[in-house]
Amino acid sequence: MAKLSPAQIQFVDDYLYNAGVYYIDIRYEMTDHVATALEAMEGTFQQNFFGYMASHKRELLASNKKFKSGALSRACKSFWDNYTNPKFLISIAVFAFFVFAMANQFGYDQVYGYFFMSHLAVCVSFYVSWVYFWVVKKNRYSVVDKLLVIGWFIPILFNIEESIESKVIRLVFITFYSSIILALFITIASVRRKYKLE
């Protein structure tokens, strides 16, 4: 059978979505798997597709459950890979230098004021992103979904800052907190970009 057309690939994708495979990244991998299998068959697209699904639908849906259960570990791995990237670590070191320089120049209270406003913006962005992906666009990526869930708990870290008395340690905390936020955003953007390009 010839290479599947864009319309046929979309048909496979729609079928999987209606079967309950809602995450885009999981559906992409499954669609690619099904398309490869169909292209190796003889006959028409319709005959091959429905014959393949009659034999493999249960297996595909089981794979969907397996992929979903492993989404958190994939999310954590993606986050960790970005966080430990040498370029990222260098940028965080530069940011830390900038934070301490700002505190030395303008005072801790002003730096903390900027940090607090950034913290509020981050909280709002995570909540708005969650509503946007799940309610408005319904573009659901398994890894992004888990990263957004992690984002819901990030404000808990902010409460730790209140118990720190040393201003120097507080500045270190601000840098660490900000680096976690930035790594999350980078990871979310990279996952979405990967599947958009593909």
Query: 87 with 54, same domain?
Result: no
Which of the four pLDDT bands, split at 50, 70 and 90, describes residue 161?
low
The DSSP letter of residue 23 is B
Give the structural domain span for 118.
71-197
Dihedral pair phi/psi, residue 54, rounded to 5°? -60, -30
Residue 84 and residue 176 share a domain: yes
pTM over 0.75: no
State what percent of residues in the chain have pLDDT above 70: 84
Banded model confidence at residue 1, pLDDT cuts 50, 70, 90? low
- The predicted pLDDT at position 116 comes to 77
Instruction: Verify that 49 and 124 share a domain, yes or no.
Output: no
pLDDT for position 90: 92
Last residue of a domain, one of 22, 50, 69: 69
Highest-confidence segment of 18-22, 122-126, 173-177: 18-22
Q: For residues 9 and 183, what is the distance between their CA atoms, to the nearest angstrom?
A: 33
Residues 33 and 9: beta-carbon distance below 8 Å: no
Task: Identify whether residues 95 and 172 lie together within a single domain.
Answer: yes
Q: Do 129 and 177 lie in a common domain? A: yes
Count how many domains the chain has.
Answer: 2
Judgement on whether residues 137 and 170 belong to the same structural domain of the protein: yes
- The mean pLDDT of the chain is 80
Rounded Cα gap, residues 155 and 141, in angstroms: 23
pLDDT attached to residue 86: 92
- Provide the pLDDT for residue 151: 67
pLDDT tens per residue across span 37-47: 888 888 888 88
3-state secondary structure 127-145: HHHHHHHHHHCCCECHHHH
Same domain, 91 and 56: no
Answer whether residue 88 is part of any domain. Answer: yes
Q: Which of 20, 53, 69 is the last residue of a domain?
A: 69
In a domain, 1, yes or no: no
CB 12 within 8 A of CB 34: yes
- Tens digit of pLDDT for each residue in 103-132? 888 888 888 788 778 777 777 777 777 677
Closest CA to 187 of 71, 97, 29, 56: 71
Answer yes or no: is 17 within a domain.
yes
pLDDT over 80 at 192, yes or no: no
111 three-class SS? helix
Q: Which of 117, 115, 125, 120 is nearest to 177 (CA)?
A: 115
Same domain, 140 and 191: yes
Mark whether 63 and 75 lie in a shared domain.
no
Residue 147 sits in the same domain as residue 78 = yes
Question: Is the pLDDT confidence value at 78 over 80?
Answer: yes
Asked if 168 and 102 sit in the same domain, the reply is yes
- Residues 106 and 64 occupy one common structural domain: no
